[in-house]
Structure 1
Amino acid sequence: MQIPRLKRFLFCIFLLFGILANAQDQDTGELSLISYLQKLESQYNVKFSFVDEDLKDLKVLPVEEAELSAILRTLEKETQLRFSKLSDRYFSITPSTTLDICGFVYDNYGQNTIPGASVEVLGSPMAVLTDMEGKFTLTNIPREAHLRIRFLGFKPRYISASELINNSDCPVLLLALNYQELEEVVVYQFLTTGISREKDGSILMNIEDFGILPGLSEPDILQTIQALPGIKSIDETVSDINIRGGTNDQNLILWDGIKMYQSGHFFGLISAFNPYLTDQVTIIKNGTSPQYGDGVSGIISMETKDEVQDGIFGGGGFNLISGDMYGHIPLSNRLAVQFSARRSVTDFLNTPTYNQFFERAFQDTEVKGNNGTDEQIDREENFYFYDFTAKVLYDINAYHKLRISAIQINNNLDYLETNQATNRTNQSLLDQTNFSFGGRLSSEWSDRFSTQINAYYTRYNLDAQNIEGNGQQTLFQNNRVLESSLKALSDYELTDELLTRNGYQFTEVGITNFTDVSQPPFMSNVKGVIRSHALFSELQFKSADQKFEFLGGARLNYLQNLGTFEEIIL
């Protein structure tokens, strides 16, 4: 019967130790301020008067002091409350109007300090930055103030000042990293103003907003094109442009829908197209529409201004190479005429600019200007170029428009070399000409159906003659290309997102290569004509939100007379 008594005794011992341990924890752990004040009231026989709402969230550590005054001073420092003595036994507790607070700012990912974070008191100019340890201190701020803590790359945090007075130590405040999903950014204008990339991958040059690239004294269409990605010129000329690594003859150059075989002056150093009457230029490097039959490497399509303007406008200019002028003259509210002209001054005015261009054009050739090293040889060159364009704009009515365009480009060189010792002369003549004209009839039959008929004729001619030894030997060469084309196409919008384009094109190309040598007698004349018929069709889809675009099509070419080239050799 002793065993049950022993169990009860041990149980009481363990229970007593647990109560003592719990009491000890309560003496050393945090207490609510209200509970601690009640303990002080019973211990020192005093009374505290306060508003429960001001003290209910505050916790403190028991103060190891014997005197009540020392305990109250410590509580004032920790809680930032004001303890006022009313009598020997009664004390009042009120919140102080200002606070002194501190804190540490860390990131919530690596728990690292954030130096340089801004801590602002909202509604006042008070603000500080955290130090290298991430610590900040603010003094004499309103008790009801709110703080904003922020740093680049983190979400801002808002906290009331009263939340930072619960502890004797400066609390740690964590900032969360700010993850922001960026929207897609599409660059439409680059290099200079007026150049933008379209959604179909083509590059559009709006000449009206056209800027001048660094290194150019005035706008030049074909020089600017060479600054685009994937477009270069191996000899830095406008007449030998390489698109995506292709050769110049693999490019399709169109002016108002007319195929051009010559694109430059001064042997490719100057563009032959007036930029001030050109409205826009489209460069296609891939995804070519099947309506274009040529252009394996790329397409350069130039369009002049196509609207009948109300008033007359124009301009002119002069540099040390050439003078030019252009204009637009409305004859009625439905009829207008455009023109441009340029003529070099190099055949009667020798300028430093012309000499630099001449040296650049004929470097590493027999033609080296007037600065030859052989004093017994006189060299004389006569070079000039010109171009002009004309366009008739006629609006038959609001739905039918007729446009007729023409362009003439010419380069001429006469080079004479005389040996004073032998009185022997050599002469070289070069004449390069491109003449083209064409017409376009555009019709809108309904809101969804439209047609277009294009026709053009192009003649390219290159004459070269070399006379050596006072006429002892003469070499004459001629290269001529004649091309005519007729194209009809229609556009029909099946839906707001779906468009179909169908058409037919007939093209006839004639080529002549003629060579005549006087000594020894030799003559060669090679002629050929190719006629082609083409049917093309394409389907274009654009999503309603304009974020997706698809273009697919096919072109069927039929060459009518292969193997019909004629060759005559004497």
Structure 2
Amino acid sequence: MKNCLLYIFLLFPIFSFSQNNITISGYVDEAESGEKLIGATIYDLKSGKGTISNDYGFFSLTLPKDSVKIRVSYIGYVTKLFEDYPISDVVQSFSLSDQMLQEVEILSSKEELVHQKSEMSTVDLSMDKVRALPALLGENDIMKTIQLLPGVQTGSEGTSGLYVRGGGPDQNLILLDGVPVYNASHLFGFFSVFNSDAINSTKLVKGGFPARYGGRLSSVIDIKMKEGNMKKFHGQGSIGLIASKISLEGPIIKDKTSFILSARRTYIDILARPFIAANQRRQASKNGGDSNGSNTGGYFFYDFNGKINHKINDKHRLYLSNYIGRDKASLKAVDNYSQDSTSGVDSTESQLNWGNIISSLRWNYMPSNKIFINTTLRYSKYDFLIAFGNSSSETTLNSNNTTTVNNQNFSYAYLSNIEDWSAKVDVDWMPNPDHLVKFGIGDIYHTFTPGVNQFQFSETGTSALDTTFGAVKHYAH
């Protein structure tokens, strides 16, 4: 009996708190496109309580059961006011319209003290800042912008490796829509794999990493893709010195389902063809105008981003996102020769390529006005290949007018990759404006292929050799 009275005494404040309060929850998005606004401010002018929207645009604010006057604001957008006298919990979403600000002169600004921030060593980077900075060869690069932030240093000039507070580039966790990206560079480090036209927001965490990111020594870079315009079809493209890109987005079902597709490709290989041909003609002129062979080769990379966003109802939303990117470098040389009664063709070919494949299926569920659940199924793969080979065919005319043909082939390939399957559940619980509780569970299944070496050799009249070693896979959680 005494224990029952003690429990009632302890739980009474919670029951009385819930009975004397109401919860207003919903999403904050952009009026023109329906894109979620991350970090929007929701503030009650009467009680002085407030909150911000999370990484998915969701907010929950518990207030006294009285008339409310809520102000919803976001930098660069028209502020909205919501007045009501709710007697029970309310689901209310807000759509903000952007506005063109008048020119002003900033004399001073006040920064929130570091020791008062809930997230230490965290920098939120907007895409407007990325587009405002000078671009390398016409390409805006999010990783180049991060290199300019305090506490971040670069390696050699032009590369995209990040050294955050003394850590190495391999000690950074880079996430695209919550999926790890193991190689984030193109063109041997001069460009990153992230197409700025498909990115919505970027967060850099330089220390004190939240538990939901797992353990990392140096930093966490959390990049979110756009979700697609829910209102109208929109497209944009650009042509640069070495690359072109295009981005298309729009509604499949207005205010219900949207998509975004973005692609980028370089044409270094196409630009190099005239120079290779000119060099071949120059070599032929040195040989009296006789060209006995041909040389081809080049390098290019491409990216493709795609995402589908579907709103089932106010409590359920589905997102499917995908990224495919690859670098390819190749060289092929063919030589035709003839001497006395012997003629032949000798061909040498080499290639180097690497790339990422990333996919995620995300489900947002709001079981109550105070709880937000994000469930994600993720897939990530990175592979690297280097290969070269030589093939020759030689024909000899014998004295009795018969021919002898000798074929010889040799090839070598080295392949390594890492493949991940993972699942994760994140829960945001907002019991009141003064407390936010985050918890979750996740697991990653790794498949490692450290290095596969393959040799192949064959010659007319001899036994073929085909050897592969190092193909043992390793598994881990």
Q: Could you say which TM-score interval applies, normalised by the shorter chain? A: 0.5 to 0.7
Over the matched positions of the two proteins, sequence identity in percent amounts to 23
1:267 aligns with 2:188: yes
Cα drift, residue 247 of structure 1: 2.4
Which digits, 9 at most, give the CA deviation of each residue in 1:19-44, with x for residues without a partner? xxxxxxxxxxxxxxxxxxxxxxxxxx
Q: Provide the rounded CA distance (Å) in 2 between the counterparts of 1:187 and 1:319.
A: 40
Deviation, 1:530, is: 3.3
Q: Distance in 2 between matches of 1:398 and 1:531?
A: 38
Deviation at 1:341, TM superposition (A): 0.8
Contact 2:120–2:207 under 8 Å retained in 1: no
Deviation at 1:381, TM superposition (A): 2.3
Deviations 1:293-318, CA, capped at 9 Å, x for gaps: 24321111110123653112220111
Alignment of 1:52-451 (within 5 A): 185-186=110-111, 200-208=120-128, 210-214=130-134, 216=136, 217-236=138-157, 240-306=161-227, 308-332=229-253, 333-350=255-272, 380-416=296-332, 426-451=348-373
Q: For 2:443, which of 496, 506, 511 is the aligned residue?
A: 506
- Asked whether 1:490 is paired with 2:427, we answer yes
What is the Cα deviation at residue 226 of structure 1? 1.4
Q: Deviations over 1:417-452 (max 9, x none)?
A: 578999866432112221111111112223321111
In structure 1, the residue corresponding to 2:213 is in which secondary structure?
Answer: coil
TM value normalised by structure 2: 0.61
1:478 is matched with: 415
SS of 2:322's equivalent in the other structure is strand
Q: Work out the CA distance in 2 between the residues paired with 1:311 and 1:380.
A: 45
How far 1:454 sits from its partner (Å)? Answer: 1.0
Residues 210 and 418 (structure 1), Cα distance of their counterparts in 2 relative to 1, 3 Å cut: same
SS of 2:211's equivalent? coil
**Distance apart, 1:200 and its partner CA:** 3.2
Which residue number in structure 2 is paired with residue 524 of structure 1? Answer: 469
Matches of 2:348 and 2:221 in 1, distance apart?
Answer: 40
- Give the direction of change, closer, same or farther, for the CA distance of 1:208–1:396 in structure 2 (3 Å limit): farther
Which structure has more RCO (C-alpha within 8 Å, separation ≥ 6)?
2
- Count of matched residue pairs: 327
Change (3 A) 1:187 1:417: farther
In structure 2, runs of 5+ residues without a counterpart are 1-107, 288-292, 339-344, 393-407, 458-464
Letter in 2 for 1:530: Y
2:453 to 508, 512, 515: 515
**Equivalents in 1 of 2:131, 2:303: separation in Å?**
23
Whether the 8 Å CA contact 1:308–1:334 is kept in 2: the answer is no
The structure-2 alpha-carbon separation of the partners of 1:487 and 1:251, relative to structure 1 and needing over 3 Å to count, comes to: same
The alpha carbon displacement at 1:509 in A equals 0.7
Whole-Å separation in 1 of the counterparts to 2:226 and 2:471 = 40
Q: Deviations over 1:262-285 (max 9, x none)?
A: 322222222221112211111111
Greater share of strand residues, 1 or 2?
2
Equivalent-residue separation in structure 1 for 2:169 and 2:232 (angstroms): 40
1:18 maps to none
Partners of 1:220 and 1:392 in 2: how far apart?
Answer: 24
TM-score (normalizing by structure 1): 0.51
CA contact (8 A) 2:123 2:204 kept: yes
* 1:243–1:298 contact (8 Å) kept in structure 2: yes
Distance 2:186 2:119 in 1: 34
Kindly report the root-mean-square deviation, in angstroms, between the aligned alpha carbons of the 2 structures. 3.5
Q: Could you list the per-position Cα deviations for residues 499-546 of structure 1 after superposition, in whole angstroms to 9, with x for gaps in the alignment?
A: 2111111110101121113479753224334342xxxxxxxxxxxxxx
Question: Match of 1:291, SS?
Answer: helix
Conserved 8 A contact 1:412-1:431: yes
> Which range is displaced more, 300-309 or 514-523?
514-523
Task: Give distance in 1, aligned partners of 2:366 and 2:227.
Answer: 16
**CA–CA distance in structure 1, aligned partners of residues 391 and 417 of structure 2:** 28
Give, in whole Å, the separation in 2 of the partners of 1:199 and 1:242.
Answer: 21
> For the Cα contact (< 8 Å) 1:238–1:271, is it kept in 2?
no
> Bigger CA drift: 331-340 or 377-386?
377-386
SS in 2 for 1:309: coil
State which structure, 1 or 2, has the greater radius of gyration over its C-alpha atoms: 1
Partners of 2:445 and 2:157 lie apart in 1 by: 32
Rounded Cα–Cα distance in structure 1 between residues aligned with 2:298 and 2:118? 45
